[in-house]
Every structure is written in structure tokens, then in C-alpha cells.
Chains A and B, each alone.
Chain A
Amino acid sequence: MDKLWVITAREYLERVRTRWFLFSTVFGPVFFALLMIVPAIMARRTQASEEVSRIVVFDATGRQLGRRVADGLSVGMIGDTARTRVQELTPDRLAPAESAATREIVRGELTGYLVLDSAALGGRRVRYAGRNASAEADMDLIRRVVRESVMQTRLEMAGVEPDRSASLVRTQLEFDLERITDRGRGGSATVSVRFALIILFTLYMALMLYGQAVLRGVMEEKQTRVAEVVVSSVEPWKLLGGKVIGVGAVGLTQFAVWISSAILLLRYRGQILERLGASAMSFTTPDVTIGMGIVLLLFFVTGYVFYSSLFAAVGAMVSSEQEAQQALMPIILLLVSSFVFFPPILSKPTSGLAHTLSWLPFSAPIVMPLRIAVIPVAGWEVAVSLISVAAGSYIAVWIAARIYRTGMLMYGKRPSMREVARWLRTS
């Protein structure tokens, strides 16, 4: 078995076995699910309150319209038939009944009352009075139920069979909303910007977190002196390479879990939300093609190799956490400087700044995916950018391997820049 593989496998398995990995990998999808479900449930709460069924219906039509409305209001999770009172009466009894109901409403025993008379049956007007008369969601529900009930009664009056009338009235029209913008249809600007920001933050966080994981791993091996035992068995570059590959594989595993769970959640969100009694709101997902996915993956991998090698080199140079913080500054600055320019790049993805940053090896892994997400970028530009990052990574690995070889066995004082330069020349 190749020794590089042995080191990679150890690195990967030891990290995947930790509680932290389990937590963060599972927490991602849970967080995503919450992000999807909670707003829907919140929206349901604002759709109609439980109060909506705590009303009295005065039915002066003599055609059981009030009963039908009450049944309609009690459908669903929040309805409660027992709470909706139906009072059938003659039109001349309406006025005293209404004033009695008003008193009850004032005392808080009732939410409101609904008056159905010949004008309602004629399809002209219905009266509602109550505490929630200004609650849009409640009124929408009552309006819909009354409209359907009136329609159904009128159909029956016109001689349609009750079974058929019910099915004719119940229509669930889903409205697909699509916006047309300057860029044409579908290109919902807010969606692609949101998508671009997600990619930006994910890449930035991933490069930072996994880079630091490599740094800490290297420092641990140096501080515990395991490195000396290991490099007496394998070439130092294999220890370095195995670590970088192992940590990277952990990152890709995590992403694979997150992305596939996100895809599953999005595909089945209708069913899931229905189970929970909330209606699915329209949610525009960005169009991500396979090709774009591969390009994103390539940028992550090359960018990761670039930064993690530099992090590893720092880890090999220093002997303590404080030294590491100092020595890390230039690398963190590179990473942050590619991140902080995102507002101007998002607002003007074709500017000179955007072009320059998407070609420099240290910023391209973050800036180029950002541009790709918001505007179409020519294939050759993407290729140039990728080649630049790959070349940068190669140099970073070359530097890291040399610093690593010497630095891992140097304890005590942090080496000066001149000493590091000599390591690069001689080792």
C-alpha cells in the first residue's frame, strides 16, 4: 500500500470520527431545513388565525348556506366546527340578532359575525363584522369560503348535482410567478445575487476553515514530534500531501452531504410542508448546470490546495499558537482581500477590478465563481483563471514542501525571512 495513501486515510478517518465533524455535517442540513420550513410555518400563522372559526353565521337564505360556510371554515388544522355557530333565521330577525352578537363580540366571547341573506345568494354582497375585520389573512379565508359556498349553492339551484357542484367549485389554482427584467425572463436578479453570495461565503469560509485545519494538523505533528517519526518512514512531501488531501476530502465529504441534502429538501419540500400543514411558497431555485458545478468544484479544489499549502508552510515554520497568528497575517490578508471586494464586483461584474481579481491566483478561486454566478463569463476567461490558480497552487506546494522539510525539525525561535529564503534555495 502506498504510504501517501496511508497518511491520507489516517488524516481523513481521524477527522471524520470526531464529534465536531458529525455535528457540523448533520447541522448543515438541519439548518437548511429550518431555513426552509420555519418561514413557511410562520407564513401559515399569518394566513389565518384560529379566531376565524370562532364566529356566528346568521343565515337568512333558507338554503343551508350558513352550514356550508361553517363546514368550509372548519377545514384544515386550525378549523373547529364546534366553534362556528350557525343561526338560521328570517330576514326580519337579523337586526336584533346582530346587536346581540355585537355585545358578545365586545365582551370577547365571539370574534365576529357573518350575515348571509338574499343579497349573498344573489351573488352581490355579504356582510362581516368582527374584531379581525382588518386581518387580511382571516378575511381572505372567509372571502374564499363564502365565495365557494355561494357558488356551490347557486349551481345546485341551477340543477347541478351536489357531488358535481362540489368538485366544480373546489379549484386549487397555483400561480407560477415569473418576473421579466432587463435581462429577459427567468434571470431573477435577486436569486442570482443571493446564489452568488452563498457561493462567496461558502468558498471563503471553506478555504479559511479547512486551511486552518491543515495548519493545526501540521502544528500538532510538529509540537508532539510525531512528524520526526513519520518523516523517518516517508518523504516529507508525502506527509504534507497526505494531510492536504485528507483534509480536503473531509471538506468535500461535508459538501457532498450538504449539497445532496439541500437538493433532496428542495425536491420534496412540497410534500414536507404539506405534512406540516403549511403551504409551499414560491421559491425560485437558481439554475445550476452540471458544467457550472464542475467549474465551482475545480475552483474550490485548486483554491484549497493553494491556501492550505501556504497554511501548512506557516504551521511548519512556527512553534506556538501566537507565532502562528503573526505568521498567518499575510495569508489571511490575501484571502480577506479577495473577499472584501465583493460589493463592487457584484454591482459591476465586468469592471477592470473584477477582471483583474478573477485572474490573480490568490483571489480567482473566490472572485471568479462570484462572477460566474451573476453573469455569463466566456469559457476562455474561466480557463485562464483556472490555469492561473493551478499554477499558483503548484508554486505554493513547491514552497510549502521546502519550508516543511526543514521547518518541521526546527524548534525554538521562529526563523527569519532570510532563513526561510535559504531553506527554499537549499533543500
Chain B
Amino acid sequence: MNSQHVAPGPALTRSTSSIFPPMSNPAVEIQNVWKRYTGHVAVRDLSLTVPRGSVYGLLGPNGAGKTTTIRMMLNIIAPDEGTIRIFGEPHSKAGITDRIGYLPEERGLYRKMQVRRVLRFLAQLKGMSGAEADRRIDHWLERLGLRTSEKDWGIAKVDELSRGMQQKVQFISTLIHDPDLVILDEPFSGLDPINAQALKDIVMELRQRGKSVIFSTHLMDNAERLCDAVCIIARGEKVLDGAVAEVKSRQGDRHVAVVLSNGTPAGVPAILRDRALVARCDDSNRMLEIELAPQASAQELLARLIGAGATIERFELVRPSLHRIFLDRVGATGVEEGMTGHG
């Protein structure tokens, strides 16, 4: 789409595979996968590769097919067509799910069960022994502050925990068996800021330890900060994918961030409406994110702004934010009515 590709530096020409050298097999490899339901296609000819040891964002509006894609990776539902490989093996191979930790979008635990017993149960389902599970449960309960000298929440029933604490227990259940691949479906929805930060810390730690993390989200800020690579999908189709830096560079450097210190002088709105100069302007109150028109130059924009009496506090050529790219590429039409359960 974006043909006037300017290549200012080596960083922008690097491809996904050069950031993550083709060591062994990718964590996840999806090829030409389709999933149809009555009345609509949830996933349409999707192919993507999640490099090992990376944090990978699966981005898209509600109902784009994120949850369906994740469920197919986990072999919870079967694709109609296409293949999925996890660590180079077919995803339906016995035992492969033991290496995956999964946090579903809708979270829940057995309410009447003791926290420790729930965690031991879920760990044993991943093939761990009871004794090993107990040891890790202690570690995690202490790490997340669920077990202190005064109170051990591990022996409480799930019911008795606050929502925030239940979310922590859910994280533990996802990570208890030290999985090589962690899949988080909308992990930040419903989290309080403290748990959100705890989760980000955990994700970064997993990455440092060489684990692969996939998470789906429609919050671009989180994705931009955490992900090494992303795939944007809409209406079940891939819109774009690749390393974050590469995705941004592909959108060109036609973006300017402008901050004016003296408000908006009378002549400025007219300049911003000039389609020969400004293709698009995103006014986020304190900052203007401007995409230059194809033939226009940043110099010209700067000169005209100064000419209109604006006091420039900041004028910077920037890469577009993922948020911007997402809006550009997916647009309002990409946001279908959310279909529960088919995410």
C-alpha cells in the first residue's frame, strides 16, 4: 500500500527473521488457516509466524477472530483448513499443550475449591507431579503476595478472594508449569493498575528467560510497549504483520508530531485542512499527529505554521504509533459487531 518507501536507516530494513534469527523452529507457525461458522467466517486464510523468544501481539478489534485463532493454536477448536505447528510439531500432537500456558479472556476458577487445590489440579493437568506443583505454588503465592506471615490465601477458597487476588491466582495457574509458550487472551482487560503492572513485569521476565509470549489485545498502547512483533487482523483476515519497528517503517516517515505552545492561532486550522499539504491530522488535544500529503514536505508545513503565527514548542518527524497504523489500516469498517465467543 505504502509505495513511497523511504529507507533512512538500517534498522528499518531489518526483517522479522533478521531480528529473530531462524534458530530451530518458530514458537507458532500458522499456515492458511480457515475457520467458518454458520453465517460468517471467523478466520480467513490466516498465516503468521511467532518467532521463538519474542513477545508477539495479536491485534484487532473485537470480533476480528483473535480468540478463535488462539483457540485453534491450543487445539481447543479445530481449523477447517490449514496447518498449525507449535515448536515445529503439529499442534494436535499429544503432550504439546503441556508446554503452553493459557490465560483465557473470560477467566474463572472452581469457586468452592481451595486455592492450592485448584492450582495443583491445573498443574497436574499439565503433567506436573503433585510435589513439584506444591513447591512452585509456594513460590508463586509468595511472589504475588498471596502468602505472607500473617495470612496464607492458599488455604482459602477461591470464593473468599477479592477479584484482584483471583486474577493473581489465574496468572499463577497459567505459569505454574513453567511453559515455553505463554498465550494470553486480552490479558489486560479488567485488571487493576497494580495487577496490570505485575503482568507486564511477568511478561518481560518471561522474555528475558527466552520464553515466547503471545497476547491478544485491542489496546495498542500496551502492544506498542511490550511487543517485539505484531499481527493486526480484522474480519478474520491478516491486515499486516512483522516486527514492530518494521511495521512502523513500512508506514513511511510522513508523520509529524507538533505541539504549539500558544494554543491554535486563527490561521492554523486552515493550514491543517489544506489537503495538498496535510493528508490527515489527529488532534489529541495537547499534540497534533499529522500525516503529510504525498507531495508535501515537512519544511513547508513548518514554514506555513510559523507564518500563521504559531509558536512551535515541538516539531518532530515521527514514526506513526501502532494506534495510528491500526486506525489507518483497519479503519472504522474493520470493526464488526463483536461476536461473543468467536472473538
Q: Spell out A's residues near B (CB within 8 Å).
A: 1, 3, 6-7, 10, 14, 220-221, 223-226, 228-234, 409-412, 419, 422, 427
Candidates B77, B97, B341; contact of A233 at CB < 8 Å = B97
Candidates B76, B78, B125; contact of A409 at CB < 8 Å = B76
Closest A residue to B158 by CB, please name it.
A224
Closest B residue to A7 by CB, please name it.
B125
Across the interface, do A14 and B104 meet the contact criterion of CB distance under 8 Å?
no
Candidates B109, B125, B341; contact of A410 at CB < 8 Å = B341
Residues of B within 8 A of A14 (CB): 110, 112-113, 117
Closest B residue to A228 by CB, please name it.
B104
Q: In this assembly, does B171 line the interface, its C-beta being within 8 Å of a C-beta of chain A? A: no
Candidates B76, B121, B124; contact of A228 at CB < 8 Å = B76
Across the interface, do B121 and A10 meet the contact criterion of CB distance under 8 Å?
yes
Taking CB atoms and an 8 Å cut-off, the chain B residues in 108-153 that contact chain A are 108-113, 117, 121-122, 124-127, 129
CB distance from A402 to the nearest CB of B (A): 12
Across the interface, do B341 and A412 meet the contact criterion of CB distance under 8 Å?
yes
Residues of B within 8 A of A221 (CB): 110
Across the interface, do A233 and B122 meet the contact criterion of CB distance under 8 Å?
yes
Across the interface, do B108 and A224 meet the contact criterion of CB distance under 8 Å?
yes
A10 to B116, CA, bound (A): 12
Residues of A within 8 A of B173 (CB): 229
Across the interface, do A412 and B126 meet the contact criterion of CB distance under 8 Å?
no
Decide if the interface of chain A is mainly helix, strand, loop or mixed: helix
Across the interface, do A3 and B125 meet the contact criterion of CB distance under 8 Å?
yes
What 7 A-B pairs are tightest by C-beta distance, nearest first?
A: A224-B108, A225-B108, A233-B125, A225-B106, A232-B102, A232-B74, A6-B124
Across the interface, do A226 and B109 meet the contact criterion of CB distance under 8 Å?
yes
CB distance from B79 to the nearest CB of A (A): 12
Residues of B within 8 A of A220 (CB): 110-111
A229 to B112, CA, bound (A): 17
Residues of B within 8 A of A409 (CB): 71, 76-77, 341
Closest A residue to B111 by CB, please name it.
A224
Residues of B within 8 A of A226 (CB): 108-110
Across the interface, do A412 and B106 meet the contact criterion of CB distance under 8 Å?
no
Q: Known pairs A229-B122, A232-B74, A410-B341; list 4 more (Cβ under 8 Å).
A: A226-B108, A229-B104, A229-B173, A411-B106
A231 to B109, CA, bound (A): 13
Across the interface, do A232 and B111 meet the contact criterion of CB distance under 8 Å?
no
Residues of A within 8 A of B262 (CB): none
Taking CB atoms and an 8 Å cut-off, the chain B residues in 63-98 that contact chain A are 71, 74-78, 97-98
Q: How many A-B residue pairs have CB under 8 A?
A: 69
Residues of A within 8 A of B98 (CB): 233
30 A-B residue pairings within 8 Å (CB atoms): A1-B124, A1-B129, A3-B124, A3-B125, A3-B127, A6-B125, A10-B121, A14-B117, A223-B108, A224-B110, A225-B104, A225-B106, A226-B109, A228-B76, A228-B104, A229-B108, A231-B76, A232-B74, A232-B100, A232-B104, A233-B97, A233-B98, A233-B122, A233-B126, A234-B97, A409-B71, A409-B341, A411-B340, A412-B340, A419-B38
Closest B residue to A412 by CB, please name it.
B340
CB distance from A423 to the nearest CB of B (A): 11
Q: In this assembly, does B107 line the interface, its C-beta being within 8 Å of a C-beta of chain A? A: yes
CB distance from B294 to the nearest CB of A (A): 46
Residues of A within 8 A of B341 (CB): 409-412
Residues of B within 8 A of A411 (CB): 106, 340-341
CB distance from A88 to the nearest CB of B (A): 76
A149 to B225, CA, bound (A): 106
A240 to B326, CA, bound (A): 41
Q: Spell out B's residues near A (CB within 8 Å).
A: 38, 71, 74-78, 97-98, 100, 102, 104, 106-113, 117, 121-122, 124-127, 129, 173, 340-341
CB distance from A115 to the nearest CB of B (A): 74
Across the interface, do A228 and B122 meet the contact criterion of CB distance under 8 Å?
no
Residues A230 and B125 in contact in the complex (CB < 8 Å), given A412-B340, A419-B38: yes
Decide if the interface of chain B is mainly helix, strand, loop or mixed: loop
Residues of A within 8 A of B71 (CB): 409
A386 to B22, CA, bound (A): 60
A412 to B173, CA, bound (A): 26
Interface centre among B110, B111, B340 (most CB of A within 10 A): B110
Residues of A within 8 A of B107 (CB): 225
A10 to B110, CA, bound (A): 11
A1 to B129, CA, bound (A): 8
A224 to B124, CA, bound (A): 20
Residues of A within 8 A of B126 (CB): 233
A221 to B122, CA, bound (A): 13
Residues of B within 8 A of A422 (CB): 38
A410 to B42, CA, bound (A): 14
Candidates B75, B77, B102, B111; contact of A229 at CB < 8 Å = B102
CB distance from A149 to the nearest CB of B (A): 68
Residues of A within 8 A of B127 (CB): 1, 3
CB distance from A121 to the nearest CB of B (A): 78
Closest A residue to B341 by CB, please name it.
A411
Residues of B within 8 A of A1 (CB): 124, 127, 129
A306 to B124, CA, bound (A): 29
Residues of B within 8 A of A229 (CB): 102, 104, 108, 122, 173
Closest B residue to A239 by CB, please name it.
B125
Residues of A within 8 A of B76 (CB): 228, 231-232, 409
Residues of A within 8 A of B124 (CB): 1, 3, 6
Residues of A within 8 A of B129 (CB): 1
Across the interface, do A228 and B106 meet the contact criterion of CB distance under 8 Å?
yes
Across the interface, do A234 and B108 meet the contact criterion of CB distance under 8 Å?
no
Closest B residue to A231 by CB, please name it.
B76
CB distance from B342 to the nearest CB of A (A): 9
CB distance from B206 to the nearest CB of A (A): 18
A3 to B97, CA, bound (A): 12
A223 to B78, CA, bound (A): 22
CB distance from B139 to the nearest CB of A (A): 20
A223 to B112, CA, bound (A): 14
A3 to B128, CA, bound (A): 10
CB distance from A95 to the nearest CB of B (A): 82
CB distance from A102 to the nearest CB of B (A): 73
Residues of A within 8 A of B74 (CB): 232
A419 to B37, CA, bound (A): 11
Residues of B within 8 A of A228 (CB): 76, 104, 106
A3 to B94, CA, bound (A): 12
Residues A6 and B121 in contact in the complex (CB < 8 Å), given A224-B109, A225-B104: yes
CB distance from A408 to the nearest CB of B (A): 9
A7 to B125, CA, bound (A): 8
A303 to B108, CA, bound (A): 32
A234 to B76, CA, bound (A): 9
A333 to B76, CA, bound (A): 33
CB distance from A144 to the nearest CB of B (A): 61
A220 to B109, CA, bound (A): 10
CB distance from B101 to the nearest CB of A (A): 9
Residues of B within 8 A of A225 (CB): 104, 106-108
A230 to B123, CA, bound (A): 10
